[in-house]
């Protein structure tokens, strides 16, 4: 059973509830001498506390991605795992569905040889009869580091937040995809390195999974990226590196566009993965940058540097700069009513496409 994801989390909640019920039922029925009865009650209380702490720890880990696997938690992790990560291929990946409509799977990419979690949400129109022949644009949401796909669910209130924007007409119907950006817990700022091809995972493997199992539009103008913090940096750099896959990107409170030496220590690798350097390649993409004037981790100067670096046909929309707000979900949620409609406006509309093979999502129980 995976350390991350909803299954283990709900298992811990169930264990906590059962421990509490067992304690209440057994409290006055424990036989034996008084010292033994008190010892047994202390043990029952300890079990309740341990299971409750496990629930909180699991929630924190799922939200912030502190440990990506049992091996990572137990310290039994090494670089060799990157070359042989397990998981089914994209065409055999099975999704499980939660009560809120989010779909979750874990698969191994054919090109990067990396494995990781991917969450998917389809708009209501996706399952309506009149849209059964339609293919939909895709919004790919990237989390920060530390973090995980669940960060968007817990902090970003998915899918309710995006569903509200779609129901009001501010955002067009689109498939929402939330992949892990650091498979195996190895952060490369979504770059390809000698041991982890995280860029390939996000720009080739994840799109292949989604295109195989969902009715998607496959052109670059139908795929957009949006991320916060490290995910914001990744959104910009991936669109600039893969303009034939992603034609638009949004960055909320992005990490420095010059790159992070603590993540990519090799200056040459860091340089060619920096949006400031990628701007020289003049990719045909549209970018929207947002931050807060009070965010010391993602300054207005960071946005200005990229604005000065880009050349046509790359375009950067006038930035969104909130007067107040820190590097947190309170700030990012305040940006949603602006950044999501902007991204939606840059995506192709859902439509019927002839000559495409039928796709069917594999959903397990």
pLDDT in tens, 191-205: 999 999 999 999 999
Per residue in 121-143, pLDDT (tens digit) is 999 999 999 999 999 999 999 99
CB contact set of 150 (below 8 Å; sequence gap of 6+): 4, 5, 6, 62, 63, 119
338 has a pLDDT exceeding 50: yes
**What is this structure's pTM?**
0.79
Distance CA 285, CA 32 (A): 75
Per residue in 281-334, pLDDT (tens digit) is 999 999 999 999 999 999 999 999 999 999 999 999 999 999 999 999 999 999
Indicate if the alpha-carbon torsion angle 279, 283, 289, 295 is positive or negative.
negative
16 has a pLDDT exceeding 50: yes
Beta carbons of 71 and 81 less than 8 angstroms apart: yes
Beta carbons of 300 and 308 less than 8 angstroms apart: no
Beta carbons of 66 and 60 less than 8 angstroms apart: yes
- Of 195, 292, 280, 197, nearest in space to 252 by CA: 292
Higher pLDDT, 82 or 241: 241
| Average pLDDT score over residue span 151-178 | 97
């Amino acid at each position: 059973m995976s350390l991350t994801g909803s299954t283990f989390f709900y298992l811990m909640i169930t264990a906590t509830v059962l421990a509490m019920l067992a304690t209440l039922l057994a409290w006055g029925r424990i036989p034996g001498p008084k010292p033994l009865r008190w010892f047994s009650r202390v043990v029952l209380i300890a079990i309740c506390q341990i299971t409750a702490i496990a629930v909180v720890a699991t929630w924190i880990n799922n939200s912030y991605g502190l440990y990506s696997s049992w091996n990572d938690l137990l310290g039994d992790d090494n670089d060799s795992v990157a070359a042989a990560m397990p998981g089914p291929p994209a065409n055999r990946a099975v999704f499980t569905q939660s009560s809120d409509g989010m779909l979750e799977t874990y698969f191994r990419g054919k090109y990067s040889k990396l494995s990781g979690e991917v969450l998917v949400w389809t708009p209501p129109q996706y399952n309506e009869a009149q849209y059964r022949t339609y293919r939909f644009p895709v919004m790919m949401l990237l989390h920060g580091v530390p973090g995980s796909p669940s960060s968007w669910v817990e902090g970003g209130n998915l899918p309710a937040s995006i569903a509200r924007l779609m129901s009001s007409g501010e955002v067009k119907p689109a498939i929402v995809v939330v992949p892990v950006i650091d498979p195996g817990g190895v952060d490369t700022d979504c770059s390809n390195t000698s041991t982890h091809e995280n860029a390939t995972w996000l720009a080739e493997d994840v799109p292949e999974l989604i295109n195989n199992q969902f009715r998607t539009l496959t052109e670059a103008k139908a795929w957009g990226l949006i991320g916060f913090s490290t995910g914001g940096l990744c959104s910009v750099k991936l669109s600039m590196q893969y303009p034939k896959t992603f034609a638009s990107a949004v960055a909320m409170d992005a990490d420095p566009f010059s790159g992070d030496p603590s993540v990519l220590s090799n200056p040459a690798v860091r340089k060619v993965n920096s949006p400031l350097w990628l701007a020289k390649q003049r990719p045909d993409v549209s970018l929207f940058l947002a931050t807060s004037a009070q965010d010391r981790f993602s300054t207005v100067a960071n946005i200005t540097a990229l604005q000065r670096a880009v050349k046509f046909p790359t375009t950067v929309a006038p930035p969104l700069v909130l007067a107040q707000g820190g590097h947190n979900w309170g700030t990012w949620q305040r940006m949603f009513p602006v950044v999501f409609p902007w991204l939606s406006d840059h995506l192709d509309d859902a439509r019927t496409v002839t000559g495409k093979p039928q796709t069917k999502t594999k959903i397990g129980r």
